[in-house]
Amino acid sequence: MPANYRYGVRTAFTVLACVALTACGSMKSMTGGLSESRINPVNWITPYKIEVVQGNFVSKQQVELLKPGMPRAAVRDVLGTPLLTSVFHADRWDYVFTLKRQGTEPQALKLTVFFKGDVLERFEGDDMPSETDFVAGLDSKRKLGKVPVLEMTEEQLKAAEKKAPVVAAPAPAPASTPAAVTYPPLESPAR
């Protein structure tokens, strides 16, 4: 192919791409905002957005266990390892928790613990939810139907016992088994 021909084809594709992009930008004005309405079937399909959970969840019950005067090790036992510790603020631990889910507002909770030396001085932060409130908030709003009862009735238990296979005792070994085999020692005898 001659160089002039390739140059012309490349230029034509560039112009065609610019025209297509310009047309996409003006499509909104031509449709009168139809692409933003709920009538448009394209808007019924939403991409999957991954659930992002970061940090340490600290419950209300854990915060209630904190008392001024506790040593650092006891605070770590109650709250876990802090998400943020700073070299410049050695007497401060930050517990941060964020949760981003599709279809819900992002949650962000923060608790800061202050020490004086090796002893808990004070703590401050958001009102933490209890564990049951937090778990209830994780409900995905997807109803899976009625949960079956996971207990057997007396009749089902008796029927299962009757169907259980009888395990026979192992048969005794035949009398003609060979004598025990002896092997040489793994280590050489001491000299």
- Per-residue model confidence as pLDDT tens digits over 36-81: 566 766 667 777 778 888 888 888 999 999 999 999 999 999 999 8
Q: If you write DSSP's letter for every residue of 102-119 in order, what string do you get? A: TTS--EEEEEEEEEETTE
In the chain, where are the structural domains located?
Answer: 3-37, 52-137
Nearest to 46 by CA among 103, 101, 105: 103
Average pLDDT, the chain: 77
Pairs from 140-143 (Cβ < 8 Å, separation ≥ 24): 141/103
Question: Which one of 3.30.70, 1.10.10, 1.20.1270, 3.30.1450 gives the CATH number of domain 52-137?
Answer: 3.30.1450
Q: pTM of the prediction?
A: 0.49
